[in-house]
Amino acid sequence: MYHSDTITALATPVGSGALHIIRISGEDALEQVAKIFHPQEKLLTAKSHSLVYGKIIAEGQLLDEVLCSVFHAPNSFTGENSVEITCHGSMFVANSILSALQKEIRQAKPGEFTLRAYLNNRIDLTQAEAVNDMIQAKTKKAQTLAINQLDGSLFKRISLLLDELSHYRIQLELEIDFLDDDVPDLDLDLLKENLLILKQKLETLAASGKQGRLIREGLKVSLIGKPNVGKSSIFNMLLETERAIVTPIPGTTRDYLEEVIALAGYLIRIYDTAGIRETSDTIEKIGIDRSRDIIQQSDIILYITDGNDSEDEYQDFVKGFSSDKILKVLNKTDILSPEIIAKFPDYLSCFASSAEGIKALKDALLSKISLSDQELESGLLTNSRQITEVEKSISSIEKAISSIENFMGYEFTAFDLKEASSHLEEVIGKITDDDLLNSIFDNFCIGK
């Protein structure tokens, strides 16, 4: 349960630096800070969006010289009266000021400042989630996606779809309310055609969620193949560092290795898995089992061979894995004969002995994730919550179309469209519940 009382928290990372920022938000934020700020009157009479220089004095002791940023409701991030104290970057100093404040005001919960911004209609739920995405962004594309969503790109896209749904719902409600009056009959064939187009728009939006998730969380890529086919060499070349141990001895990699790289602004998570084979080595068996779990969770599986695998061996390796996420790679093509290379026509040729030899592999990975600037700006879904609600909306549209086809009556169609609208409203937070809000904002850091 969240309240409208005054809260405070450290907004900068824990540790020493040049400066720390302490946030305070609530109806009496200025009055609470003024109790330890001198001169008090200067802070209490400060205009909104102004800086005030002064000293923090608690129990007669000078704690620091500070700058206070003053924001008056409703023109603040939270929509409430807010103060941000900028003090020197010692954790001891910051904690001393926090302790003085918390004698009468409480510590903020994770994400509570952003939650208040949402509850006070300063931002919608997709923008609130974008705040956390911005904090977590590790690449240029993730930053761009978060900025666009924070700017309202997804909200605008959802709002247009809701407006379209509302138009069709109004048509149906008019038919229901004035059924006995002399009004033109609703063209059900045209309504069905329009709903099919709307369903296609929603399906496109739902599909964007995969790309949005990949940008936020990274493309998960697993390297699989027989021992000693060059998986670790490819792993090292992708990283451009000697991360994995490379030897001619089969079974050198006993457990999977995980590293993250940025490729053309996209986050790529690369897993060098233990060579999958039959073995009596207990430790190697454990590594192989772990590798299988990682492979199942991957977005792309690089099946790597050095030309010594048969088709039966390949099929045995990829058994149980979805074929649409397998990318077949023929390694060591710089030393293989043309005859051997010709036996693998549908394999991507590469060699891990140089950066040039692995460029084709990097390009192939980027082709799985690359988006145009226009697509990034269009408003992408970025998490499973949003994707699930859009998929539920699609299901409701399908029911509405079915009700028209089966002549079930305007009431059934109107009900299904209302359900479709409700699910889209859940995406932007127009309707939601406390449990959902708690689950979203619990993932935020304290102070944001």
Tell me the sheet residues that pair with 340: none
Question: What's the CA gap between 419 and 413, in Å, rounded?
Answer: 10
| Structure confidence at residue 192 (pLDDT) | 94
Residue 366, pLDDT score: 86
- Shared domain check, 296 and 410: no
Considering the domain architecture, whether residues 141 and 118 belong to the same structural domain is answered as no
Query: Are 36 and 171 found together in one domain?
Result: no
User: Is residue 442 one of the residues assigned to a domain?
Assistant: no
Looking at the fold, whether 155 and 270 belong to one and the same domain comes out as: no
In whole angstroms, give the CA distance from residue 165 to residue 194. 10
CATH of the domain at 44: 3.30.1360.120
Residue 248 sits in the same domain as residue 348 = yes
411 shares a domain with 361? no
**Are residues 272 and 307 both part of a single domain?**
yes
Q: Which of 71, 100, 124 is the last residue of a domain?
A: 124
Report how many domains make up the chain: 3
Of 29-38, 247-256, 392-401, minimum mean pLDDT range: 247-256
In the 3-class helix/strand/coil scheme, how is the chain assigned residue by residue?
Answer: CCCCCCEEEECCCCCCCCEEEEEEECCCHHHHHHCCEECHHHHHCCCCCEEEEEEEEECCEEEEEEEEEEECCCCCCCCCCEEEEEEECCHHHHHHHHHHHCCCCEECCCCHHHHHHHHCCCCCHHHHHHHHHHHHCCCHHHHHHHHHHHCCHHHHHHHHHHHHHHHHHHHHHHHHHCCCCCCCCCCHHHHHHHHHHHHHHHHHHHHHHHHHHHHHHCEEEEEECCCCCCHHHHHHHHHCCCCCCCCCCCCCCCCCEEEEEEECCEEEEEEECCCCCCCCCHHHHHHHHHHHHHHHCCCEEEEEECCCCCHHHHHHHHCCCCHHHEEEEECCCCCCCHHHHHCCCCCEECCCCCCHHHHHHHHHHHHCCCCCHHHHHCCCCCCHHHHHHHHHHHHHHHHHHHHHHCCCCHHHHHHHHHHHHHHHHHHHCCCCCHHHHHHHHCCCCCCC
- 2 domain-assigned: no
For residue range 166-223, list pLDDT tens digits in order: 999 988 888 877 665 555 678 899 999 999 999 999 999 998 888 888 888 888 998 8
What's the pLDDT at 244?
A: 40
Q: How far apart are CA 218 and CA 205, in angstroms?
A: 19
Report yes or no on 381 lying in a domain: yes
**Same domain as 183, residue 166:** yes
Higher pLDDT, 185 or 375: 375
Note whether 279 and 288 are within 8 A (CB): yes
In a domain, 266, yes or no: yes
Beta-carbon contacts of residue 295 (< 8 Å; ≥ 6 apart): 222, 224, 271, 273, 301, 321
Q: What is the pLDDT of residue 367?
A: 84
Work out the average pLDDT over 102-107: 94
> Can you give the CATH number for the domain in which 357 is found?
3.40.50.300
Report the predicted TM-score, pTM, of the whole model to 2 decimal places: 0.79
Give every strand in the sheet of 219-224, ordered side by side: 257-263, 266-272, 219-224, 300-305, 326-330, 348-349
Last residue of a domain, one of 105, 124, 143: 124
Q: Residue 255 pLDDT > 80, yes or no?
A: no
Tell me the pLDDT of the chain averaged across its residues: 87
Share of the chain above pLDDT 70, in %: 90
207 and 224 together in one domain: no
Nearest-angstrom CA–CA distance, 190 and 394: 19
209 and 225 assigned to the same domain: no
Output b/e per residue, 307-331; b: 16+ Cβ within 10 A. Answer: bebeeeebeebbeebeeebbbbbbb
- Same domain? For 359 and 391 the reply is no
Q: What is the pLDDT of residues 44-90, one digit of tens each?
A: 999 999 999 999 999 999 999 999 999 999 999 999 999 999 999 99
Q: How many CB atoms lie within 10 A of CB 80?
A: 25
Q: Which residue has the tokens 């904690």?
A: 95
Measured CA to CA, the distance from residue 424 to residue 432 in angstroms comes to 11
Classify residue 38: in a domain, yes or no: yes
In a domain, 437, yes or no: no
Residue 96: inside a domain: yes
Rounded to an integer, what distance in angstroms lies between the CA atom of residue 196 and that of residue 404?
12
Which positions ≥6 away from 179 have C-beta within 8 Å? none
Are the C-beta atoms of residues 140 and 265 closer than 8 Å to each other?
yes
Domain closes at, from 124, 158, 189: 124
Q: Give the range of the structural domain holding residue 148, as residue numbers without chain letter.
A: 135-214+377-431
Within-domain flag for 130: no
Are residues 344 and 232 part of one domain? yes
Q: Check: CB of residue 331 under 8 Å from CB of residue 351.
A: yes
Q: What's the pLDDT band for 248 if we cut at 50, 70, 90? A: very low
Other Cβ atoms less than 10 A from the Cβ of 139: the count is: 20
**Each residue's pLDDT tens digit, 281-298:** 656 566 666 777 788 888
Q: Cβ distance 38 to 52 under 8 Å?
A: no
The CATH code of the domain that includes 176 is 1.20.120.430
Q: Is pLDDT at 224 greater than 50 in this prediction?
A: yes
